[in-house]
């Protein structure tokens, strides 16, 4: 379960940002997770609740915004989003598409005090 290592890295990153800004506590962690990131959101939340104890995130709420797969057609140049894995353009049916978003996890913002 790689969600544990992802959460440990996330908490470390949150604490670094909080320390750089002179915060004593993190109240909310907002992340964006792509549907193709390979991260199970439910497992990530469980791991976060497990590993946040004793850290600056101990009382923090984890908010996750799920990012659909965002693609651009290399033939007709249209940009579109899909919920499931399908790498073809719904406009011209080309298979030549480029992934723009939806494969990564990002720390978007923190609420700190």
Q: What is the DSSP letter of 60?
A: P
> From CA 39, how far away is CA 63, in angstroms rounded?
15
Q: Indicate the number of domains in the chain.
A: 1
Per-residue pLDDT of 33-73, as tens digits, reads 999 999 999 999 999 999 999 999 999 999 999 999 999 99
> What would the mean pLDDT of 14-37 be, rounded to a whole number?
97
> What is residue 94's DSSP assignment?
-
Q: Is 1 a residue whose pLDDT tops 80?
A: no
pLDDT mean over 11-23: 98
| CB proximity list for 7: less than 8 A, separation 6 or greater | 44, 47, 48, 50, 51
What CATH number does residue 52 fall under?
Answer: 3.30.2320.80
pTM (2 d.p.)? 0.87
Average predicted confidence (pLDDT) for the chain = 95
What tens digit of pLDDT does each residue of 70-99 get? Answer: 999 999 999 999 987 788 999 999 999 999
> What is the domain extent for residue 89?
3-112
* pLDDT at res. 86: 81
- The answer to whether the Cα torsion of 89, 103, 101, 69 is positive or negative is positive
């Amino acid at each position: 379960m790689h969600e544990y290592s992802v959460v440990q890295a996330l908490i470390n990153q949150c604490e670094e940002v909080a320390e750089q800004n002179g915060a004593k506590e993190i109240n909310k962690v907002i992340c964006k997770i792509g549907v193709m990131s390979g991260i199970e959101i439910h497992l990530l939340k469980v791991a976060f609740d497990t590993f946040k104890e004793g850290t600056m995130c101990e009382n923090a709420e984890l908010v996750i915004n799920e990012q659909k797969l965002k693609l651009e057609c290399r033939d007709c140049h249209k940009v579109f989003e899909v919920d499931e894995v399908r790498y073809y353009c719904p406009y011209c049916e080309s298979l030549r598409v480029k992934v723009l978003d939806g494969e990564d996890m990002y720390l978007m913002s923190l609420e700190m005090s």
